[in-house]
Amino acid sequence: MALYLGIDIGGTNTELGIVDEEGQIVSSQTLSTKQHGGSFADYITALSLQINQMVADPALSGKVVGIGIGAPNANYFSGCIEEAVNLPWAGSSPIVAELSAQTGLPVVLDNDANASALGEHSYGAARGLDHFVEITLGTGVGSGIYADGRLIRGYQGKAGELGHIAVGEPHQRCGCGRYGCLEASVAAPAVARRAVSLKKLCLEQGMWSELCDIPDEQLTSKVVAEVALATGDSIARQVFDETGEILGRALAQFACFSAPQAFVLFGGVAQCGDLLLRPVRTAFDQALLHIYRGSIEIRLSALPKGQAAVLGAASLARERDL
Amino acid sequence: MALYLGIDIGGTNTELGIVDEEGQIVSSQTLSTKQHGGSFADYITALSLQINQMVADPALSGKVVGIGIGAPNANYFSGCIEEAVNLPWAGSSPIVAELSAQTGLPVVLDNDANASALGEHSYGAARGLDHFVEITLGTGVGSGIYADGRLIRGYQGKAGELGHIAVGEPHQRCGCGRYGCLEASVAAPAVARRAVSLKKLCLEQGMWSELCDIPDEQLTSKVVAEVALATGDSIARQVFDETGEILGRALAQFACFSAPQAFVLFGGVAQCGDLLLRPVRTAFDQALLHIYRGSIEIRLSALPKGQAAVLGAASLARERDL
């Protein structure tokens, strides 16, 4: 049985995991992304050493057939990480060429959102689906579009920027400089902003909410979800009701593009589960074009928390083999 | 050199054309779609007879290798035309099975929008592109999405309903019952509505426009374009400026799905050329996400008027062979 090595490159750490066909991580390691004085060459040397040690494990010997790498600003076609502001290397870093030379294994690189989508298809909530869209709700909104049995990569690998389609609140400014992007309405900072705004309204109107006891700067998406789930606080719930309604309407629009069988929600904001999922589904059902009714599910990610990135990366290598 | 037979099924006529690799129609025929008392079996018999005669032409003998059919409500996967309100047959009509049995040739069926997109790729404005989106601006707004070197069909073949994404005027009701669909803002009836509305404003404000001399019911998209092009009438031009601005902004949103190299505009509303294209490009450039800037063109269809549907249908058969 073939094994794949998944590598998730983050700003602080690089996580490595050898993954089997069932999505079990049979061996894992962590390497610092930063600890090489910003030298890409030194990082690659350390990473290759780590990989070669893992692959040489007698128990796995010869079974690891490929490496997949998920990273921010990764270019699938060039095999380079390009101008990634959160990584220590400037310019274009040819990681596929370097790693395949130093390990002798085939290497595939792609961005985190595409890796997540493939991971969901290989091991998670999208197993067996030929058509689905993965939406990552984190600091931003990422997406991976899988249609007709393949990931859509688009010209220069730039497909799947659904977070920047103007189906959010029209007057909300996005980090990209444009207005109305979905990202500006449903990513984690937008959830926090909504909580602060509803808390302010409560205070002005002399209403009570658990959120009133929490300083604005601590009202993160995660904290608001914890309050809603622990206490049932109606204002905390309303934060997710409003977020979910915008997201549900947006997903109904996106359905018209690739006619998916499912949307899979992933990332920090989706970890509150039903709190978000219920209003998403209600708004989605109301806004969906009639020809799609009854044919599209909305699911939560089914990848084990903390392993999703490595599983996604491994599935990049797996996809190449299929 | 292989030849392909393209068949375009419309409510009144069925057009047949044998097409060569360069997109030249070397033989063509027309058959009534209606003249068979609503009997699908009789229609198929007449159509097969016509096909077999065309294919048997000694000059073409043996060279026609496949049949492509473009039709409304066509299901690529089932090979059936289903519940098409503008065609005389009720229910589901298994045209692929019937025609291939009676002609001995492989038959591919798809909807008009997908056929148009493939036609543009094989013979028109999208030749050589691996990523583009065809937008058909007619009575409605159709679309065909071509990404990573193939058409995106989606679950049950229902991908590419970009006309029903809510990036038009928010309060405009669409024929689908929803609000804000692009179709309700830029299809031919919307252009006519805009002309009537601007004419009314002119009359109310005592301003003059060539449109004021034309009865409302005659103010079609085609007539307004003719007035604008013949006289330069500023109100007639404004109709297309406003339409183009909405369309341009919408296309900028659509870019985020599949990262195309081009949008190709086709159909009646696009036949006025620069009158529409100029405001589309201006709005598109302003609204586009920075990562796509400079990489996406907006083009007009390059298929000869009147032949586009048959060329598109033929390209369905050609696609199957590639």
DSSP character string of A16-79: EEEE-TTS-EEEEEEEESSTTTT-HHHHHHHHHHHHHHHHH-TTTTTTEEEEEEEETTEETTTT
Residue-level pLDDT at A322? 66
Q: From the list A131, A150, A290, which residue is nearest B155 (CB)?
A: A131
Per DSSP, the residues of B89-138 read --SEE-HHHHHHHHH-S-EEEEEHHHHHHHHHHHHSTTTT-SSEEEEEES
Chain A residues inside the 8 Å CB shell of B155:
130-131, 259-261, 295-296
For residues B92-116, average pLDDT: 95
DSSP assignment of A184-238 equals HHHSHHHHHHHHHHHHHHHHHTT---GGGGS-GGG--HHHHHHHHHHH--HHHHH
Whose CA is closest to B19, among B11, B7, B31? B7
ipTM score for this prediction = 0.94
Report chain B residues whose CB lies below 8 A from the CB of A148: 150, 152-154
Helices and strands of chain A, counted as H and E runs? 9, 13
Give pLDDT tens digits for A60-71: 878 999 999 999
Taking an 8 Å cut-off on Cβ atoms, the answer to whether B290 and A176 are in contact is: yes
Q: Which of B159, B178, B259 sits opposite A147 (nearest CB)?
A: B159
Instruction: Give the pLDDT score at B83.
Output: 84
Nearest CA in chain A to B262: A155
pLDDT above 70 covers a percentage of chain A that reads 100
Of A145, A154, A256, nearest to B162 by CB-CB distance is A256
Least confident of A253-257, A318-322, B299-303: A318-322
For B166, which of A167, A260, A261 is closest by C-beta distance? A167
Q: Which B-chain residues 145-174 have CB contacts (< 8 A) with chain A?
A: 145, 147-148, 150, 152-162, 164-167
Residues in A closer than 8 angstroms to B164, CB to CB, are: 256, 289
**Chain B contact present for A179, CB below 8 A:** no
Nearest by CB to residue B158, choosing from A159, A164, A259, is A259
Structure tokens at B131: 């990523």
Over residues B80-91, mean pLDDT: 88
List C-alpha distances in Å: B22 to B1, B32, B69, B225, B315: 10, 28, 19, 31, 11
Which parts of chain B fold into alpha helices (H)? 40-56, 95-103, 112-123, 183-186, 188-204, 221-231, 234-258, 274-287, 308-321
In tens, the pLDDT along B285-319 reads 999 999 999 999 999 999 998 899 999 999 999 98
Going by pLDDT thresholds of 50, 70 and 90, the confidence category of residue B2 is: very high
Q: How close, in Å, is residue B181 to chain A by CA atoms?
A: 9
- Closest by alpha carbon to A132, among A144, A119, A116? A144
The model's pLDDT over B14-36, given as tens digits with 9 standing for 90+, comes to: 999 999 999 999 999 999 998 88
* Residues of A with Cβ-Cβ distance to B179 under 8 angstroms: none
Q: Are B253 and A254 in contact (CB under 8 A)?
A: no
Predicted pLDDT at B322: 66
A-B C-beta contacts closer than 8 Å: 123
Residues of chain B in contact with residue A177, where contact means CB-CB under 8 angstroms, are 290
**Per-position DSSP letters for A107-124, written without gaps between them:** EEEEEHHHHHHHHHHHHS
Mean per-residue pLDDT over chain B, rounded: 95
Answer whether residue A131 shows pLDDT above 80.
yes
Name which of B258, B287, B289 is nearest A154 (Cβ-Cβ): B258
**pLDDT at residue number A83:** 84
- The tens digit of pLDDT for each residue in A211-240 reads 999 999 999 999 999 999 999 999 999 999
CA distance A62 to A39: 31
Residue B3, token pair as written in the block: 């030849």
Q: Any chain A CB within 8 A of the CB of B258?
A: yes
Q: What strand order describes the sheet that includes A150-151?
A: A150-151, A141-147, A132-137, A262-266, A297-300
How many CB atoms neighbour CB B39 within 10 A?
Answer: 12
CB A247 within 8 A of CB A276: yes
Q: How far is it, in rounded angstroms, from Cα B218 to Cα B211?
A: 10
Residue B38 has pLDDT above 70, yes or no: yes
Give the lowest-confidence range in A52-61, A160-169, B219-228: A52-61
For residue B99, which of B59, B61, B64 has the smallest C-alpha distance?
Answer: B64
| Chain A residue with minimum CA distance to B130 | A155
Who among B147, B164, B253 is closest to A159 (CB)? B147
Interface test with B, best of A143, A145, A146, A165 (most B CBs within 10 A): A165
Residue-level pLDDT at B117: 96
Q: Is the pTM of this model over 0.80?
A: yes
CA angle B47, B160, B304 (to 5 degrees): 55
Mean pLDDT of chain A: 95
Instruction: Provide the pLDDT confidence category of residue A267 given band limits of 50, 70 and 90.
Output: very high
- Catalogue all structural domains in chain A, each as residue range(s) with its CATH number: 3-119+306-321 (3.30.420.40), 128-301 (3.30.420.40)
Residue with tokens 């189906």: A167
In the three-class reduction of DSSP (H, G, I as helix; E, B as strand; rest coil), residue A153 is classed as: coil
Is A28's pLDDT higher than 80?
Answer: yes
Nearest-CA distance from B248 to chain A in Å?
Answer: 13
Does A256 contact B165 at a Cβ distance shorter than 8 Å? yes
Contact (CB<8Å) B289/A178:
yes
Q: Is B36 helix (H, G, I), strand (E, B) or coil?
A: coil
CB contact under 8 A, B154 and A160: no
Please state the rounded mean pLDDT for residues A251-255. Answer: 98
> Contacts of residue B167 in chain A, CB cutoff 8 Å?
166-167, 253
Query: What's the pLDDT at A36?
Result: 83
Contacts of A192 (CB under 8 A, 6+ apart): A219, A220, A221, A224
